[in-house]
Structure 1
Amino acid sequence: MNRLVLAAQVIERGALRYTPAGLPALDLTLQSDSEVTQNGLPRKVSLQIRAVAIGDITRPALTLVLGVPAQFAGFLAPSRNGKGVVFHVTSIAAPEPASQPG
């Protein structure tokens, strides 16, 4: 199974473009900073990954505020030039806005 779920923030967003099939596409750079447990020991992991949103998912991707954490899900595929991978985002769960005291 090729499925990736990543807590990250958008640090770069390209201009909306269209695929040859006419679908909207949006290039993103995501930054993830987390702490995981490896071999029973904590490890800090910081990474940037190239991502793309294609189709209907471009609408919510365009509304994300740069630097605000969200959860992204999707799959990995080879990049167009064959060097490295690109995270194809298929769903986004943005954080709920903070409620105002009333």
Structure 2
Amino acid sequence: MRYTPAGVPVVSCIVGHVSRQTENGVERDVECELPAVALGDMARQLGVARCDWMVEATGFLAAKSKRSRAPVLHITNIKFLEGIDNGFQTEGSR
């Protein structure tokens, strides 16, 4: 976790997506990875997650910067689907 000059926590990660979608009446498997960033409380929540935990993340897509138009998912809500206590391990459960 890093912090902005204003002291806001920031976590950057790569989010993997796996699903089955219907396109033009045909089902297909979809897999991709997308860079993501979380700020503030979302960064604190994501900061304790392990890389192999499954999450349901929602947010918005924005360009990485003015120079790089590559998309980055800005996470505004995260739900842990696996892990102890919805993704958070307490001291006694480690």
Shorter-normalised TM-score: what interval? 0.7 to 0.9
Between 1 and 2, higher relative CO (CA 8 Å, sep ≥ 6) is seen in 1
Instruction: Note the C-alpha offset of 1:83.
Output: 3.0
* Unpaired segments ≥5 residues, structure 2: 85-94
Q: Deviations over 1:23-68 (max 9, x none)?
A: 1100010111111111111011110000000111112101222122
TM-score of the superposed pair, with normalisation by structure 1: 0.73
Question: Paired residue for 1:36, among 18, 21, 29?
Answer: 21
* Unpaired segments ≥5 residues, structure 1: 1-15
Q: How many residues get paired?
A: 83
Q: Pairwise CA RMSD of aligned residues?
A: 1.6
The whole-number CA distance in structure 2 between the counterparts of 1:97 and 1:78 is 31
Instruction: Note the C-alpha offset of 1:97.
Output: 4.7
Q: Give the residue type in structure 1 aligned to 2:42.
A: I
Instruction: Report the counterpart of residue 45 of structure 2 in structure 1.
Output: 60
Give the 5 Å matches for 1:1-102.
Answer: 16-80=1-65, 81-95=67-81, 97=83
Q: SS at 2:15's partner residue? A: strand
